Amino acid sequence: MGSVLSVNAQRLVADLEALGQIGRVAAGGLSRTSFSATDTEARNWYFERCAEAGLTVVVDGLGNLIVSSPDVVPETTDRPAVWSGSHIDTVPNGGQFDGALGAIAALECLRRIHEEGIVLERPVRSIVYTDEEGSYAHLLGSSALARGYSLAELEAMNGRDGDRFVDAFTAAGGNLDAATRTKIDPATLHATVELHIEQGPTLENLGHEIGVVTGIVGLGGGSVTFRGRADHAGTTPMLGRKDALVAAGALVVAFPDLAARIGDGAVITSGVISVEPGSANVIPELVHVTVDFRHPDANQLAALEAEIRGAARAIADQYGVDVSIDLEPSIPPAPLNQGIQDLIAAAAAARGLSSSCLPSGAGHDSQNMATLAPTGMIFVPSIDGRSHCPQENTSWIDVENGANVLLDTLIQLAGS
Ligand code: GLV
Ligand code: MN
Ligand code: MN
């Protein structure tokens, strides 16, 4: 039998619907990119939910929110804690569930434990991680917890509009000194669990209600910049031009072949290209291409990076332009804890829910947390497998089921 305790589904749905209105844009989705006004509004909304539930929020140096309930048994307060959470920032014009589900479900679990006065061996904390979607750096908040950032690293971070992280961060009230002191002691953590939408079609195709995540894909990324020469678009013959955009285009067109050379599981994407000087009648001089590449295997991820670097250099030579390649250190693939996978599968079975094991092709803060403590993830189905778009959707019954499996898993981890 699973725990008799269940989430308050009505409150969970109402919260997800309310949060789903913050940052709603005319294009139909949500834009709550980190450190934007709408992200701040969502965080303030979350603070209010915690306050009305009698929960305490600590904001760490990079804006991660760590929520506690007044512990029923004082001597457990300092024991290694069980963390659960996700993010409430979104991609531009993104969906309502990516991140929000896991963040609000964790809060709901903590509310239920607190309001029922359940005595556990270890504290449970509800977490909101900063900038998961990488407006400035992919998995920023959890990277800060797992490895920390130097001031130089923070100063080098730029947003998708070329804006500086340090400006956005300090404008939002952040303190740069505190931002370099965010690394946590793994001894303070017992385990972490994150509920998330699958963001792909596997569970829906199988007709299964719960996904037990076996591991998270490795992530690499950054930008490639081609520098050519600005010249008149009408008077400069095609032969001998140094067109940075023609080179950048060749790199993007090569992505499917580069990924195919590595084989199954390799993906490469460019989601942002900027062109300078940016005039229809000037040959492009400077082109920045973002690159996001992923593979579930660490060696293959490194091989994929080598393919991208090699192709960028060869293309630059071919088109007579200069190239600089600025890739961040890759975030390694993270196998998830087998014991927690077993707990999730058992919790699903006890509630009569079908489940299957699957890997995650999306990045999650859990892959950083897995370097600190035993970590697990629970997936629920995404309708039509859609995500990072306004059509992203999950049925309310799947939301409730996922939150209940999360609650059972947290109680198991905190109680024994
Ligand atoms: C996060 O959603 C990612 O996988 O990029
Ligand atoms: Mn997410
Ligand atoms: Mn996402």
Q: Which ligand ends up closest to the CA of 90?
A: 3
Q: How far does the centroid of ligand 2 lie from the alpha carbon of residue 226, in Å?
A: 31
Residue 252, CA distances (Å) to 193, 249, 271, 272, 316 in order: 36, 5, 10, 11, 13
pTM: 0.94
Q: Specify whether the backbone of 218 is left (phi greater than 0), alpha (psi in -120 to 50) or beta.
A: beta
For residues 224 and 252, the answer to whether their CB atoms sit within 8 Å is no
Instruction: Tell me the two tokens of residue 116.
Output: 């029922």
Find out whether the beta carbon of 363 lies less than 6 Å from any atom of ligand 1: yes
Find out whether the beta carbon of 218 lies less than 6 Å from any atom of ligand 1: no
The atom of ligand 1 lying closest to the CA of 134 is: 5
Q: Which ligand ends up closest to the CA of 363?
A: 1
pLDDT confidence of residue 409: 98
pLDDT confidence of residue 407: 98
Q: Cα separation of 294 and 266, whole Å? A: 6
Q: Which ligand ends up closest to the CA of 294?
A: 1
pLDDT confidence of residue 6: 98
- Which residue(s) pair with 222 in the sheet? 291, 327
For residues 315 and 250, the answer to whether their CB atoms sit within 8 Å is yes
* φ/ψ of residue 337, rounded to 5: -65, 130
pLDDT in tens, 291-329: 999 999 999 999 999 999 999 999 999 999 999 999 999
Instruction: Tell me the two tokens of residue 101.
Output: 């589900």
Helix (H, G, I), strand (E, B) or coil at 63: coil
Q: Cα separation of 232 and 229, whole Å? A: 10
Those residues whose C-beta lies under 8 Å from the C-beta of residue 321, and which sit 6 or more positions away, are 226, 227, 228, 242, 243, 244, 247
pLDDT, mean of each 10-residue run, the chain (416 residues): 80 98 98 96 98 97 96 78 98 98 99 94 97 96 97 93 93 96 98 98 98 97 97 97 98 98 96 97 98 97 98 98 95 96 98 98 97 98 98 98 98 90
> Which protein residue has the closest C-alpha to ligand 1 atom 1?
363
Instruction: Tell me the two tokens of residue 152.
Output: 């130089």
Ligand 3 (single-atom ion) residues, CB below 5 Å: 98
For a ligand 1 pocket test, name from 88, 138, 392 the mutation site with the most ligand atoms within 8 angstroms of its C-beta. Answer: 138
Q: Are strands 124-128 and 65-68 parallel, antiparallel or unpaired?
A: antiparallel
Task: Quickly name the fold that domain 218-327 has.
Answer: Alpha-Beta Plaits (3.30.70)
- Which residue(s) pair with 58 in the sheet? 66
The atom of ligand 1 lying closest to the CA of 361 is: 4
The DSSP-derived string for 97-118 is STTHHHHHHHHHHHHHHHHTT-
For residues 344 and 382, the answer to whether their CB atoms sit within 8 Å is no
pLDDT in tens, 336-383: 999 999 999 999 999 999 999 999 999 999 999 999 999 999 999 999
DSSP tag of 333 = P
Find out whether the beta carbon of 362 lies less than 6 Å from any atom of ligand 1: yes
The DSSP-derived string for 185-197 is -GGGEEEEEEEEE
pLDDT confidence of residue 2: 43
Find out whether the beta carbon of 246 lies less than 6 Å from any atom of ligand 1: no
Find out whether the beta carbon of 94 lies less than 6 Å from any atom of ligand 1: no
The atom of ligand 1 lying closest to the CA of 294 is: 4
For a ligand 1 pocket test, name from 133, 160, 377 the mutation site with the most ligand atoms within 8 angstroms of its C-beta. Answer: 133
pLDDT confidence of residue 78: 84
What are the residue boundaries of the structural domains of the chain, listed by start? 9-216+333-414, 218-327
Q: Cα separation of 73 and 91, whole Å? A: 40
Find out whether the beta carbon of 372 lies less than 6 Å from any atom of ligand 1: no
The atom of ligand 1 lying closest to the CA of 199 is: 2
For residues 219 and 292, the answer to whether their CB atoms sit within 8 Å is yes
Q: Cα separation of 358 and 200, whole Å? A: 11
pLDDT confidence of residue 77: 78
Q: Cα separation of 364 and 83, whole Å? A: 14
Residue with token string 């199954």 = 264
- Which residue(s) pair with 220 in the sheet? 293
For a ligand 1 pocket test, name from 30, 132, 140, 330 the mutation site with the most ligand atoms within 8 angstroms of its C-beta. Answer: 132
- CA angle at residue 338 from 203 to 359, to 5 degrees? 30
Q: How far does the centroid of ligand 3 lie from the alpha carbon of residue 364, in Å?
A: 8
Q: How far does the centroid of ligand 3 lie from the alpha carbon of residue 359, in Å?
A: 16
Q: How far does the centroid of ligand 3 lie from the alpha carbon of residue 362, in Å?
A: 7
* φ/ψ of residue 324, rounded to 5: -130, 140
For residues 336 and 215, the answer to whether their CB atoms sit within 8 Å is yes
Classify 9-216+333-414 by CATH class: alpha beta
Those residues whose C-beta lies under 8 Å from the C-beta of residue 232, and which sit 6 or more positions away, are 281, 282, 283
* φ/ψ of residue 121, rounded to 5: -70, -30
Q: Which ligand ends up closest to the CA of 129?
A: 2
Q: Cα separation of 162 and 154, whole Å? A: 14
